[in-house]
Amino acid sequence: MSHIRSRSRRRGLRVASLALGVAAVAAVAVAPAYAQEPRLEITASGGRWGGYALGTISPSLTGPQVPAGSPVLVLRGDVSVTPGAAAEVRVGWRVWRAVYAEATGGLGRHTIDAKIHDDLEQAPASTVSASLLQIAIEGGALVELARLPMPAGRLVVFAAGGGGYLRQVHEDRVLVETGSTIYGGGGVKWRTSAPRPRGLVQRLVLRGDLRLVTRSGGVDTSDTRRSYITVSGGIGLRFF
């Protein structure tokens, strides 16, 4: 398991470094066309991170046959991570026209369910559950694709992608695993059309995100990538 965790950690660092490297290169070429607009956006969101299957475990015992017994199935367990509530904070810095470098910190609360069946002693099927805390620290890029005029401001359509580090903490800290994430998706932002916003209302940003996240490493029954959907919405402010 240690070599799997180490490999996943290296993948996460490479993905995050690549995303931040692209943003750093773009930062060198800042264009003056958007210079009058605020560069910094900070948003806080609440949402829901999707669940995903972790596979089936099938522990067995060696049978009593002589000289070498055949494996005897003890039980089967279908293991999965259930969807859970999440909180996210995003900090974006406009580096070139409609391109932002973005850092995200997220916290999701989930449950690991193991549905036990095919018990050797013919016990009834049951479900065993334990809490799981997921912590994600990611870096990436956001590109504003369109700005649609509205009576009270602008609706901005965007695409985003990146990756980073994942930490999963099992109930009572019995187990801590690390991995990496890669994400892609998009969403919309509403903000006022004032080029130089003043006051709280003109600085407001409303944001909604939909993302596909692919996870490697972490808590799992095998060294396999898992994918899930995240949905979030929140409010933020623009500065500078």
Element (H, E) at 4: helix 2-28
Q: Does some domain include residue 188? A: yes
Q: Residue 165: what pLDDT?
A: 97
Side chain identity at 53, as an amino acid letter? A
Q: State the pLDDT at residue 64.
A: 63
Does a structural domain hold residue 75?
no
Strands 226-239, 153-170: pairing kind? unpaired
| Residue at 123 is within a domain | no
Whose structure tokens read 């810095």? Answer: 93
Contact (Cβ atoms closer than 8 angstroms) between residue 166 and residue 134: yes
Whether residue 138 contacts residue 104, with contact meaning beta carbons closer than 8 Å, is answered with yes
Contact 19, 102 (CB under 8 A): no
Q: Cα–Cα distance between 61 and 63 in angstroms, integer? A: 6
Rounding to the nearest 10 degrees, give the CA dihedral for residues 212, 216, 220, 224: 90
Q: Which pTM does this prediction carry?
A: 0.78
Q: Which residues of the chain have pLDDT under 70?
A: 1-35, 62-70, 72-73, 75, 120
Structural domain includes residue 172: yes
pLDDT at 93: 97
- Tell whether 93 is covered by a domain: yes
Q: Is 122 left (phi over 0), alpha (psi -120 to 50) or beta?
A: left
Residue with tokens 């996943």: 8
**Domain-located, residue 74:** no
The verdict on residue 159 lying in a domain is yes
* Alpha carbons within 13 A on the beta-carbon side of 181: 28
Report CA dihedral (224, 230, 236, 238) to the nearest 10 degrees. Answer: 60
Write out pLDDT tens, residues 91-119: 999 999 899 999 999 999 999 998 888 77
CATH number at residue 184: 2.40.160.20
Q: Which of 135, 230, 224, 114 is nearest to 183 (CA)?
A: 230
Number of domains the chain contains: 1
Residue 210 included in any domain: yes
Residues 105-118 as b/e (b if ≥16 CB within 10 A, e otherwise) read ebebebebbbebee
- pLDDT the model gives residue 127: 87
> CA 233 from chain center: how many Å?
14
pLDDT score, position 219: 87
For residue 153, the enclosing domain spans 2-53+86-108+132-239
